[in-house]
Structure formats: structure tokens, C-alpha cells
A and B are shown apart, each in its own frame.
Chain A
Amino acid sequence: MNSKAKLLSFGTTAFIAIIAILAVFPLFSLFISSLRPSSDLMRSGITLSIPFDKLNLNNYTYIFTEGGNYWDWYINSLIISGFTIALCLFFSSMVGYALAMYDFKGNRFVFILVLLILMIPFEILMLPLYQFMIQVGLVDTYLAVILPMMVAPVAVFFFRQYASGLPKELMESARMDGCSEYGIFFRIMAPLMLPSFAAMAILQGLSSWNNFLWPLVVLRSNTMFTLPVGLATLLTPYGNNYDVLIAGSVMTVLPVIILFLFFQKFFIEGMTVGGVKG
């Protein structure tokens, strides 16, 4: 029996290990490939064998010294993600909190609107929203990318769920002490919701960092592009920019992976938000 269990344990562990290796292998090969000469990469793509004698840092040297617009894209992505996180957390938490804590007229209706937006895919709103951005003169600005992400229904839903688990007695006693309703939220309840802020910061930050289609539509000039949009412009059949493409790709995912290693719990919570419904 014991040896049978051992065999079973070895079997399942080995199987899962193979899957895990297959999962990280593409990223591993991206890192290795970023050290290969870009002309090689252009010719044969990612290969199974690693040409150790040819590995060097030239692609990184190039991107740090010249690199075209790469750093513009990086800064744009940082600014857009930063503002999206800040604004989205601020507004969505207020909405979610109000829906959970106040029994006001229209509460139910607002919540239904949140669920409705969750059900309508953004791609359908894209054309008219683009026309709207033209009308208000926001095309090719940060604001055009940030605005539609400002109040995220997923985040509202999550904050509502989280806030409804908080003790309402705290609000009552704060009121007795003469704290205003805003003070109750900002000074007492919001700090208690901190773990939910972390999870949502990660979800919104990641989706903003990786967002592609809307920035592609609404940003026009090369210097305004975000990282995914900019990198996608390098995917030409001529491959004359493979140095920036490959080193740039690494530097796009590496910070996220490093953050993940430190804040795993919040990543997992943030990215499985829908799961709370199950």
C-alpha cells in the first residue's frame, strides 16, 4: 500500500511538473532569445538548441542607447496604468462601498446597471466611443485611453462584495463621534478594505498594462503608443527591429513577473474575481 502511494505521488508530481515546465518554457525561451543576435533570431526564430557561444547583451545595449520610441512607450504605459489604477480604485471603491453599506433608493437599480455593463463586451462600444473621442478632441491623448477604464464594473462588484463583509457597527460608532459620512469611508472603512484595493490594483494595473485594442484604436502617433501597441508595430515581415522587439518584450513582462513573485496572493485574488460568484 505504502509503495503504491509513493508511486502514485511520484506519477502525479512528475505529470504536473511537466505541465509547469511547458507553461514557463515559452517565457524562458524568450529570455534566452533576447541574448541572441537579432539577425539570428530574424532568420530562424526561437530554436531548440541554445547557441551559448553567441549569447550577448547587444539587444539590451541597443535598446538602452538607441531603441527608437521604446522608452516613450514605456513611459506612456506607466503613466496610463498608474492613472488607471488610481482613478479606478478611487471611484470604483466609492461605488462598491455605497452599494454595500447604504440602503438608498435606487441601490438595486445601480447594481443591475453594473451587472449590465459586465455583460456587454467593450468591443461593441468601441466604434461610437471612438467617434465620441473625436468629437471631444481626445484622440491621441492619455485621457482617451484612461476614461473608459475609470469605473470598472468588475471592481465595483468586487468592492461591493468585500465591503458587505465589514462590520456596520463601526460606522454607527463613528457617526456617534461626529465623523462625517465621507470621513467614515476615507478614514475608517477604506483602510479596512486595503486587501481588496491590492487585489483590484493588480487586476486593473495588469489589464491596463496589457490592454491592446482600445489604445491601438485611439492612439495615433508613435510617441503616444503604449508598450503592446508599440511592440506590435515591430511585428513586420522585414524584421529589421527584432533587437528592440525581443529585448523590449522581456522588459515588458519582467516587472510584472517580479511583482507576481512578491504579491502572489493578491494577484491570484485579483485575477479570479469572478470566482466569488460561484
Chain B
Amino acid sequence: MIGRTAAESEIVKPKWSIKSFFLSKKVVPYVFVAPFILSFLFLFLYPLVSGVVLSFQSVLPGQTTFIGLSNYERILNPTFFKALSNTTIYVVLTTSLLTIFPIILAVLLNSKFTRFADLFRAAIFIPALTSTIVAGVIFRLMFGESEDGLANTVIGFLGFDPVEWRFGAVSGMFLMVLLCSWKWLGVNILYFMAGLANVPKELYEAAEMDGAGVFHKFRHITIPLLKPITIYVVTISIIHGFRMYEESYVFWQDSSPGNIGLTIVGYIYQQGFKMNDMGFGAAIGVVLMIIIFIISIAQLVLFGTFKKGE
């Protein structure tokens, strides 16, 4: 290669062929991204578009008809509002619990006063490894109806009567929120600990010199500096919450008494798959998509995340 003259390399320059085409530096990146483009077209864009189209259709075996906005008009029914309100309550509760507790625990785990922090962090993280179905099996068995079940024994000590956990609206919501919080606490702690690692130690030292107390430092240094990660955690918690279904499925499968466990995705599943009303199911899906879009955009506008670029 070395010492080759200009004229020689002119001759050696390969002719156009399929092989050299695929080997050229200009084409290679497209080969690399091709699988993504294909899966984007077939597994994302196509279902997305046909989902929207489907929401304007009535699908019966062998005949599909456009019915305009009828599916959307039908959405405005008490069952949907039940699903929407259940989901919204769930989102508010899980998001606030899964923000406040992880911040406090992350600060404590990060503090020089806490010993065995690595061990405890790992222990709190372990529930995240459990599938929601298995977690649901455990919680169903802990919160059984019988008097000697674990949860009823515990509240018995406190002087309460046994509760039929899965059959009340409040206790049913409690079960779903508890299951979700148990599972995700450790993950959110890790987010906040990663955020805390970026907080310069000098800030705390300077504050201590000025005689700032623990709560003062927490309020005026930790909280403001954790703002970006908090926004991130809040956003993903809200979006995960609106997509929730498994936490409800493990307690009641397809139908819960008085729809206490019905969620938006549960309603899609019930109508689209169980009742085979695909057009209606798709319309609920579009509404869910709009809700999630509004949240994402509100988040971007309120906190200007996209100004910072990637």
C-alpha cells in the first residue's frame, strides 16, 4: 500500500459492483439502520395508522364499515369515565408516592451516616425483578379474605375488623398502588441516587460553614438540584400509570366488582379483545394516546426539557 503512485491507485480503484456498493462507507450506515426502519414501518407506523383508521370503523366478521365518529361518541359512557377516574387516581397516588419516598430514601442511602448502604439499596431494588403477575400472586395471598390472612392479622392487632381487600373500591385501589410502589421504589431510588451523585459536595460544605441544618440543606440544595431528575421520574411515572393494566389484572382478571379495578388499558382489552369490538377498542386507544401526548407536551412546555437538547 505504501509507496503506491497516484496512477496505480487510479487503476486499482474498484469498479462498481453489488459487493463494493454494500461495502462503501456511504451505504454501510443505511444497512445498519435498515432493521430499525423496517420494524418502524411494519411494527409501528402501520399499526399506528391502521389503529387510527380502525377507530372510525365497525369491524364485524367479513365486513368492515366506516361509521364516522360513532365509536368516539360511545366512549362518553359511565364505564369509560370509571376507567378514566380509576386510572387518574392511581396515577396521582403512585406518582406522588414514588417520587417523595425515593427522594428521602436516596438522600438517606447517600448520607455518610447510613451504614451498609449498598446492601440495603440492593435489597430495596430486588422487588423490581419480580414479574407483576408473581408480585400479584404474593399480594393476593397476603391480602386474602380470611381472618388469619397476613394483612387481616396485622390490622387485627391494631383493633380493626377483617377486610375483604379485593372487594372494596378503596382497598382495591390500595392494593394496586401498594403493588406498584413496592415494585418500583428501588428503581426510582436509583434514579435519585444517580442525580445526587452529580451534586457537588462543596455546596453542602459551604452551607455547613454558614451553619445550615439538615433540613435547610435538603430544602435549598438537594431539592433544587434534583429538579431535572425529578421531572424525569414524574413524567415516566405518569406515563407508566396511564398504561397500567397488569396490576389490575392480577387481582380481578377481566372484570372487577363494580369495575373498581378497571383501567383505560383494561377497557381497551375488554372491549377490543374480549368483546371483539375492535373499532371501539381502537378509539379508546386513540384517546389514551392523546392523553399521553398532552402530558408529554405539557411536561416539555412547563419544564422546557427540549431546550437542553439531547
**Chain A positions near chain B (C-beta within 8 angstroms):** 5, 8-9, 11-13, 15-17, 19-21, 23-24, 26-27, 29-30, 33, 41, 43-48, 91-92, 94-95, 97-99, 101-102, 104, 107, 110, 113-114, 117, 119-132, 147-148, 150-151, 156, 178, 180-182, 185, 206, 209-210, 212-213, 217, 227-228, 231-232, 235, 245-246, 249, 252-253, 256-257, 260, 264, 267-268, 271-272, 274-275, 277-278
- B73-81, B104-112, B203-211 - interface stretch: B104-112
- B5-13, B37-45, B215-223 - interface stretch: B37-45
Q: Smallest Cβ distance from A240 to chain B, in angstroms? A: 15
- Contact between chains at B278 and A45 (CB < 8 Å): no
Name the B residues within 8 Å of A151 (CB-CB): 35-36, 39-40
- Contact between chains at B146 and A44 (CB < 8 Å): yes
- Contact between chains at B146 and A23 (CB < 8 Å): no
Q: How long is the Cα–Cα vector from A119 to B292 in the complex, in angstroms?
A: 8
Interface residues on B, range: 35 or more
Name the A residues within 8 Å of B293 (CB-CB): 119
Q: How long is the Cα–Cα vector from A175 to B121 in the complex, in angstroms?
A: 45
How many residue-residue contacts, CB under 8 A, span A and B?
A: 280
Q: Is residue B250 contacting chain A, with contact meaning CB distance below 8 A?
A: yes
- Contact between chains at A257 and B138 (CB < 8 Å): no
Q: Smallest Cβ distance from A131 to chain B, in angstroms? A: 7
Name the one of A20, A91, A148, A256 contacting B129, with C-beta atoms under 8 angstroms.
A256
Q: Is residue B117 contacting chain A, with contact meaning CB distance below 8 A?
A: yes
Q: Is residue B72 contacting chain A, with contact meaning CB distance below 8 A?
A: no
- Contact between chains at B113 and A9 (CB < 8 Å): yes
Chain B, 41-58, CB within 8 A of any chain A CB: 42-44, 46-48, 50-51, 54
- Contact between chains at B43 and A231 (CB < 8 Å): no
Proximity bits, B121-149, A CB within 8 Å = 1, else 0: 01111111111111111111111101011
Q: How long is the Cα–Cα vector from A121 to B264 in the complex, in angstroms?
A: 13
Q: Is residue B26 contacting chain A, with contact meaning CB distance below 8 A?
A: yes
